[in-house]
């Protein structure tokens, strides 16, 4: 448990979640880019490598939400500003993970 009685602990946890979310978005974008810019020589390798990057981004979204929720659970009510929606960033990250799954499905189905 935190003993700082300071909302900055919450904001630091949220910034960390958002940093991991940006990393996950970058991995997904790189995977899409890798698949779409591959030459005709090795399209299947590019597809599966791009797919792997997108799925890695999705997994990173889930893991980062898990760690954020665990950090938030250790805070006391005095450390959370009244009326602050602590789960907004977690919901956005979860939505990004779902969109990443849709992107992965699109990559696989559009190459067939």
pLDDT (tens digit, 9 = 90+) per residue, 15-41? 999 999 999 999 999 999 999 887 677
Q: For residue 21, how far is the Cα from the chain centroid?
A: 4
Q: How confident is the model at residue 112 (pLDDT cuts 50, 70, 90)?
A: low
pTM for the full model? 0.88
b/e map of 6-32 (b: 16 or more CB within 10 Å)? eeebbeebbeebeebbeebbebbebbb
């Amino acid at each position: 448990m935190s003993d700082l009685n300071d909302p900055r602990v919450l904001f630091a946890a949220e910034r960390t979640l958002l940093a991991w979310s940006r990393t996950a978005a970058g991995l997904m974008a790189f995977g899409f880019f890798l698949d779409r810019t591959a030459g005709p020589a090795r399209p299947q390798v590019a597809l599966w490598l791009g797919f792997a990057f997108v799925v890695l981004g999705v997994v990173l979204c889930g893991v980062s939400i898990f760690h954020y929720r665990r950090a938030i659970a250790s805070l006391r009510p005095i450390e959370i500003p009244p009326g602050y929606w602590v789960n907004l960033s977690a919901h956005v990250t979860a939505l990004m993970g779902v969109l990443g799954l849709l992107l992965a499905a699109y990559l696989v189905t559009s190459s067939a």
